[in-house]
A and B are shown apart, each in its own frame.
Chain A
Amino acid sequence: MHRLRHARCAAALRAVLFFTAAAFLLLSFCTESFDAGALLLGAIVSGVILLSCCLLSWLAPHADKLLILTIFFLCALGMVVQYRIEPETAARQLMMLGIGLAAMLLMMALMRRPRIFRVLSIPMALLSLGILGALIFVGKESGGAKNWISVGGILFQPSEFVKVALVFVLADAMTERTHVRDLVPLFLFVGAVAALLVLQRDLGAAMLMAGTFLMVFIVATSNIGATLAALLTGGAGAYASYLLFDHVRARIAIWQDPWATYSTSGYQIAQGLMAIASGGLWGLGLGQGSPKMIPAYHTDYIFAVICEEFGIVFGVGVIALYLLIVVRGVLIALHAEDRFSMLAAFGATAMLAVQTFVIIGGVIKLIPLTGITMPFVSYGGSSMIACMLFAGILEGVAAKSGASLEDALARETQPSNGKEDGADYEADEEERA
């Protein structure tokens, strides 16, 4: 069993490295003169991936390798596309990837002692509210949303870190308490976060947080009635904002027919759709498209760029990889050692899933567009670090439960050899529950 998983991951690692090498090799020939920078970057990215894999299997032999390789593939894809559009942003993205990896390892280490986050839950909640509240006064506007903050000349997007905090706050609040009566403070917190985000016109983040909250809530409490009530309230709120706010109405109108307002508000969606359509099934080829036609090409709209140059088949493949991340995340949550870890792992998975769905769905006109980043691929330091922190939560939970599973196995195998590891594990789980 273990050997099988190991072999599969070796193949996956080779595939990731092959993709990275091939793509950067192609990029080095794309320009008029041979571009050594592309090869250098390709070598660095491959090196970072290889090194991280070695480091990870040395530090945490029970980490989910398929999960991390899928994430690395998406990161590599992001680097390739960033470099293809603007080599300078790719260099910055590489730095962010490095910081992100460090953040992931740190998070994995911290997740060995989940108590830390349980203690920190309330300070994190208060800090989140404080930052989001402060943003209204000191925030910098970008892309219609006032959600940036400048610290020492470096721009941050605090809502990205609030996402991480929210996952822990949710997990902590619902570890012991599952009755609606006991969760009122949590509701107030989530409501305040969503309201503050809406005030900053960061509708995407508000939707993301609310969606994740609902998913963790229903999973933790099985309270369908309250979830439906929350959904109805959310739906009513959405409808009210549709009636009240012009910018919400405009956004719906753009979604229904971006071509009608092509020269103004529909421009971005229409450009994205044209890019996707131009790519066709197999894409125009790396370096052959015109990605800079689309506003937000290296952040929110990177999926359109990927579809244009790599094709729809590849785009569906990318969606499938995100699904793989989600499936692995759910499996990790199911096998978590304690309830807090389980909820944290599920929260991280749900956050990544909703974020992916909202942004890809927006780009392909399935749902109204709200500006958020595509996990692991989009350019953006805060987003990359936040996503890597989620990866760290998942890998930390996986590593811990895997390690204790091995301990349990080692103890069990002496008296009885016949049992299968899976059955053992289940029994172990039941006992603890």
Chain B
Amino acid sequence: MNTRRNIKGMLAVFVALFLLLAGYLVYIVGAYGAYWFASPYNTRVTKQKNTVLAGTIFDRRGLALATTNEAGERNYAADESMRLATAHVIGDTAGQTLGAEALFAKYLLGFDQDLGEQLSYLVSGKQRTGADIMLTVDAALSEYAYSLLEGYNGAILLMNYKTGEVLACTARPGFDPARMKDYATGGYTLAEGSMVNRATMGRYTPGSTFKIVTTIAALRYLPNVQSRTFLCSGPLVFEKESGTLVNDGVNPYDETGALREEYILLRDHEDARHGQLTLEEAFIHSCNHVFAQLALEIGETNLRKTAESLGFNGEFLFDELVAYPGTYGDAETDFELAWSGVGQHTDIITPVHLCLITCAVANGGAAMEPKLLKGVSGMAGIEYKSLAPEVYEAFLKGNEAEFLAACMRGVVQRGTGTRAAVDGYTVCGKTGTAEVSSAKNARAHAWFTGYIDSDAHPYAITVIVEQAGGGGTVAAPIAAKVLERAVKTKAQ
């Protein structure tokens, strides 16, 4: 009979099933556990506050941003603008924003205290207190960045691209955590969307900053693309109905010089004609014509594959930061594909995602995992567990990062981003001007993403200013100011 042999085979199946069970349990809690725990629905966190006083949250310079008094009330920084600038990073005590209060509740509320520690509180009769934590952000720098966004909505994210530390993270409008208790009674009104951390969760059209992705796709799928020259002859013409690219030589205009009804155009900024360009020059001058053509040549599949290799359409599972990645949608016609190659169509990116890609370029291809937690105090209250940088993913190959670095250096030296320059340092970057409305007087979102090429000051920055105009004129100068301040105060 084969029955015995079959039973042995079944045993292998059982073992495999149970290994899967155990493995999945470990995997799923490792990947999502911190988020589930930090969920505003998790009443254990609020319940814990009845018995444990939450620890203090410090910024990287030791400035107390949130403390608990003996009555169990949470107090925040004295300066209102500092409270607003760091609100999203700190988070609210109700857990509505996924800031440090929620993500690090494990430490702040003593969930990780072992039996010995809990017993020592019991024996000594002292009020049980959670651990203090130190964040990687520089509150003063965040406050400065926040002030630069005055009059606009937007976000600024500054990271150390060698360690992944988030040095400044601010989103405007912010909310005032000190006044949140008045919110329920109507004593405090929130600005619209102020509970969203735009730096990590703001989903924006990337505009020309997406050309970084298209360039990477070109390097991967078009052989010798670096040595080719392209011709920018003005707007690209597409058939309106089918969205198909119309070959050169067709005159899309009628006698009066107006565009014929059956055509639509993909224009460059101010209808520029760049003439003969290499890929690097097209990047430096942010030529839509060339990048649209590249997108058509690369094809939708390969462009999406490249975007997905850079984190698009995926999921960011960072340990210390809740963040959304960008998305690259379907492009069905030539017209849509061309627009998607220059960061329009349905392309979406978040500032943190763009910053991560920028970090990868600056760091030779490897994107470091964003870190927000610099240390946690031990039982004695002095010792800090130090942060451990880790590579999130090697987004780029070394030569890809090198080529992009050269392109981005050119942008700030002689291209669209000259106003991002910082005296005495080499700044590399890319501007973006994202069209978000077809209305005549609508202004575009201004983007700048870039970094300082320096071992002593390895800072990468991403700036978005909503409905403010051109990336090169609005976002780049803000980036320069923040970088300059960071260098001066040595936010390392």
Contacts and interface: CB of A to CB of B under 8 A. Distances in A.
Interface of A: 215, 218-220, 222, 259, 262, 270-271, 273-278, 280, 282, 284-285, 289-290, 293, 307, 312, 315-316, 319-320, 322-323, 326-327, 330, 333-334, 339, 342-343, 346, 349-350, 353, 356-357, 360-361, 364-366, 433
B22 A316 contact: yes
Interface in B1-40: 1-4, 6-8, 10-11, 13-15, 17-18, 20-22, 24-26, 28-29, 32-37, 39
B6 A219 contact: yes
B18 A364 contact: no
Contacts of B14: 323, 326-327, 330, 349, 353
B26 A339 contact: no
Contacts of A218: 6, 10
Given A215-B10, A278-B111, A316-B25, A322 B18 contact: yes
B41 interface: yes
The 9 closest A-B pairs by CB, nearest first: A277-B36, A277-B33, A219-B6, A323-B18, A277-B37, A330-B11, A274-B42, A319-B22, A316-B22
B115 A285 contact: yes
22 contacts: A215-B13, A219-B3, A219-B7, A259-B39, A262-B41, A271-B41, A274-B37, A276-B33, A277-B29, A278-B37, A280-B37, A282-B114, A290-B43, A293-B43, A320-B18, A330-B7, A330-B11, A339-B1, A346-B7, A353-B14, A360-B21, A360-B25
B44 interface: yes
Contacts of B21: 319, 357, 360-361, 364, 366
Contact of B10 (A219, A259, A274, A276): A219
A319 B41 contact: no
Given A274-B36, A334-B4, A357-B17, A320 B10 contact: no
A326 B41 contact: no
B44 A278 contact: yes
Contacts of B29: 276-277, 280, 312
Contacts of B11: 326-327, 330
Interface of B: 1-4, 6-8, 10-11, 13-15, 17-18, 20-22, 24-26, 28-29, 32-37, 39, 41-44, 47, 106, 111-112, 114-115, 118
A67 B472 CA distance: 73
Contacts of B2: 222
Contacts of B20: 366
Nearest to B35: A277
Nearest to A303: B25
Nearest to A365: B28
A278 B42 CA distance: 9
Contacts of A320: 18, 22
Contacts of A330: 7-8, 10-11, 14
A285 B36 CA distance: 19
A401 to B, nearest CB: 13
A273 B24 contact: no
Interface centre among A307, A334, A339 (most CB of B within 10 A): A334
Interface centre among B7, B21, B22, B118 (most CB of A within 10 A): B7
Interface centre among B2, B42, B112 (most CB of A within 10 A): B42
A273 B111 CA distance: 17
Contact of A280 (B1, B7, B33): B33
B28 A364 contact: yes
Given A356-B18, A364-B24, A366-B21, 18 more contacts: A215-B10, A218-B6, A276-B25, A276-B29, A277-B29, A278-B42, A278-B44, A280-B37, A280-B112, A293-B44, A312-B26, A319-B21, A330-B8, A330-B10, A334-B8, A339-B1, A357-B18, A364-B21
Nearest to B38: A277
A339 B25 contact: no
A429 to B, nearest CB: 9
B1 to A, nearest CB: 6
Nearest to B30: A312
B39 A334 contact: no
A323 B13 CA distance: 11
Nearest to A26: B115
Contacts of A280: 29, 33, 37, 106, 111-112
A274 B41 CA distance: 8
A326 B16 CA distance: 12
A364 B30 CA distance: 12
Nearest to B36: A277
Interface centre among B14, B42, B44, B112 (most CB of A within 10 A): B14
A315 B25 contact: yes
A361 B22 CA distance: 9
A361 B43 CA distance: 24
A275 B22 CA distance: 17
A2 B112 CA distance: 44
A357 B20 CA distance: 10
Contacts of B4: 334, 342
B171 to A, nearest CB: 23
A66 to B, nearest CB: 16
B41 A270 contact: yes
A413 to B, nearest CB: 26
A316 B26 contact: yes
Contacts of A339: 1, 3
B317 to A, nearest CB: 13
Nearest to B40: A262
A276 B41 CA distance: 14
Nearest to A354: B17
A211 to B, nearest CB: 10
B52 to A, nearest CB: 11
Given A339-B1, A357-B17, A346 B22 contact: no
Contacts of A323: 14-15, 18
A275 B111 CA distance: 13
B10 A350 contact: yes
Contacts of A273: 32, 36
A81 to B, nearest CB: 17
Contacts of B32: 273, 277
Given A280-B111, A364-B24, A274 B44 contact: yes
